[in-house]
Structure 1
Amino acid sequence: MSASNFLHQGEAVHLSADGATYLDDGTVLSFGSKIRTLPAQGVAYVQRGATGGCEYIIRKMLESQPDLDGVLGLVGDVLHDILVMAARSAVDVPAHLHHFEIKLAGWSHERERLEGWYVASTADNESGGQYADYEPYVPRYIGVSDFGPNAGQDVNALLGLPDRPTFADVQALDPGKAMLALLQRQRATAYNFTNMTAQHIVGGFAEMVTITQKGMTRQRLHTWPDRVGAKICP
């Protein structure tokens, strides 16, 4: 996963991501949506990291739950088991490629509100340090926003927000324009893989899924002129 972002605006929550998959050297493999939706559960989620081709298993496991609250109770165990399986089947893969994180959004029936949550396999996250004390595999409530990776230390200024934005601060944002600005910033920044040459890995297209109590919508925000078999050159 190249980039994933979350924004909570009152009666709506938004997830955004790009649409490119790639090799370690930055060569584009394919284009496709990375934001998964579970309509029956009222949940959307976006993944980053190596899953060993287990996206189908992850989805089916999460679909076994009735709603966001049930998904949150299961997702940590699912990710842990997936990473253990991936590590056993790909022992020659560098350890940093076994890192995995997921951002989820949806309606909590227990708390009667829209929410966003973050779950990852390690405490070494790339979301601006806002989870410095993170306990691996334990869902963490996001709050207003989560922009990362490579959104920059001045990401709030980019969006015209204060250093510590509140729900009231983000209410005036146009979510589509804000998410596209984030993804353009992330596209322009080379991602520094451990022990590998930095590569531009945000490409294909920018998309956003919005969840309200009434349902979900998906929007293509922008399409970039990237090509399969070539590297991304912003």
Structure 2
Amino acid sequence: MSGILSAKSFDGGAVIVLTDGALYDRDGVLLGVQRKVAVSDRLPLAVAFRGNVAFGETVSQRIILSAEAIGFDRMLLDLDAALPGMPESPNLEILIAGVSESAGPVHRMFQNRPVEFGCAPSTLIDPGPMHWGFGTNGEAISLQAMGIAPPRKGETMQAWLARHAVAIFENFRRIKVAVDPFDDNTDRQHLIGGVLDMTVVSPSGVTITQLHRWPDKVGMKIDPLSHNVRRAA
């Protein structure tokens, strides 16, 4: 599966979401590159997904339409009540970043994979200050192990993520993960690539900035070892 990283700003005034854009088949061959974030035209609301693309696009649009019709907070309440009936497949993880009428900028996530994949399935979860949605090879992961320095004095979360986003995603890009985590027979491939987008959701609206484009080729498997990415200072 692809990658999602979401974080609340230090002052609580925004949510920053990082996503890649690789679309691939069951053999890990890149089929195309597209933005994996849907944005409301009427609200400061963005929905990112990883997993099955068609399912992710459908669920994202339903969340947005619901929020536009009844408000963000009521949408979350209705979604929380409906999630126990969510299909168990195809696999999907959703990250919602929006502005609550009662709490300001927040992020929430849910997924339909078994609990061993990181959290309770079909349950709306507050991930805390930061959400890490990446496939792994089972090894422990930390920013220190990646060589990512903490924010500089006075540096905003948005600026810090913009500075280190490529290095963070490059770390996970180099890890081979199962193309289908539900199927032990699927191959393990490099599945993060295409582009790296930063979405910022705040009371003033939603902005999306492309931070990086990898030299991945449609029709070929992603090969992160074929190039070098310069690490931020």
Q: TM-score range by the shorter chain?
A: 0.7 to 0.9
Give how far 1:137 is off.
2.1
Match of 1:101 in 2: 93
**8 Å contact from structure 1 (residues 77, 137) kept in 2:** no
Q: Partner amino acid for 1:190?
A: K
Which residue of 2 is the match for residue 114 of structure 1? 105
For 1:8, the aligned partner's letter is K
User: Percent identical across equivalent pairs?
Assistant: 24
CA contact (8 A) 2:73 2:101 kept: yes
> Which residue number corresponds to residue 94 of structure 1?
none
Q: Which residue of 1 aligns with 2:24?
A: 22
Aligned to 1:233: 223
TM-score of the pair, normalised by structure 1: 0.77
Classify 1:47/1:223 alpha carbon distance in 2 versus 1 (closer, same or farther; 3 Å): same
Inter-CA distance 7–81: structure 2 relative to 1 (3 Å threshold): same
Q: Pick from 74, 92, 96 the counterpart of residue 70 of structure 1.
A: 74
CA contact (8 A) 1:61 1:78 kept: no
Q: Is the alpha carbon distance of 1:198 and 1:219 closer, same or farther for their aligned partners in structure 2, counting shifts above 3 Å?
A: same
The aligned residue for residue 4 of structure 1 is 4
Q: Residue 47 of structure 2 aligns to a residue in which SS?
A: strand
Residue 183 (1) aligns with residue 169 (2): yes
Moved more, 191-200 or 47-56: 47-56
Question: How far apart, in 1, do the equivalents of 2:168 and 2:116 lie?
Answer: 18
TM-score (norm 2): 0.77
Give the count of matched residue pairs.
210
CA contact (8 A) 1:16 1:35 kept: no
Q: Does 1:154 align with 2:144?
A: no
Q: Deviations over 1:13-36 (max 9, x none)?
A: 111111110001110111110011
**Contact kept? 1:120, 1:138, Cα under 8 Å:** yes
Distance 2:82 2:55 in 1: 14
- Specify whether residues 171 and 225 from structure 1 end up closer, same or farther in structure 2 by C-alpha distance, changes over 3 A only: closer
Partner of 2:38, secondary structure, is strand
Q: Which residue in the other structure is 2:228 paired with? A: none
Measure how far apart 1:225 and its partner are: 0.8
Separation of aligned partners in 2, 1:214 and 1:24? 40
In structure 1, the residue matched to 2:229 is none
Structure 1 residue 48, shift from structure 2 partner: 1.8
| Distance of aligned partners of 1:221 and 1:108 in 2 relative to their CA distance in 1, 3 Å threshold | same
Q: Once the two structures are superposed, what CA deviation does each residue of 1:138-171 show, in whole Å capped at 9, x if it has no partner?
A: 2111121012314763333233349xxxxx9974
Distance 1:54 1:115, change over 3 A: closer
Query: Which residues of structure 2 form unaligned runs of 5+?
Result: 225-233
**Of 188, 212, 225, the match for 2:202:** 212
| TM-aligned CA deviation for residue 121 of structure 1 | 1.5
Which deviates more, 38-47 or 74-83? 74-83
RMSD of equivalent CA atoms: 2.8
1:129-144 to structure 2, matched below 5 A, reads 129=118, 131=119, 134=120, 136-144=121-129
Distance in 2 separating the partners of 1:49 and 1:172: 25
**Aligned equivalents of 1:54, 1:146: Cα separation in 2:** 18
How far is the alpha carbon of 1:40 from its aligned partner? Answer: 1.6
SS of 1:65's equivalent? helix
- Is the partner of 2:67 in helix, strand or coil? coil
- For 1:22 and 1:212, the matched residues in 2 are separated by 31
- Mean Cα deviation higher: 173-182 or 139-148: 173-182
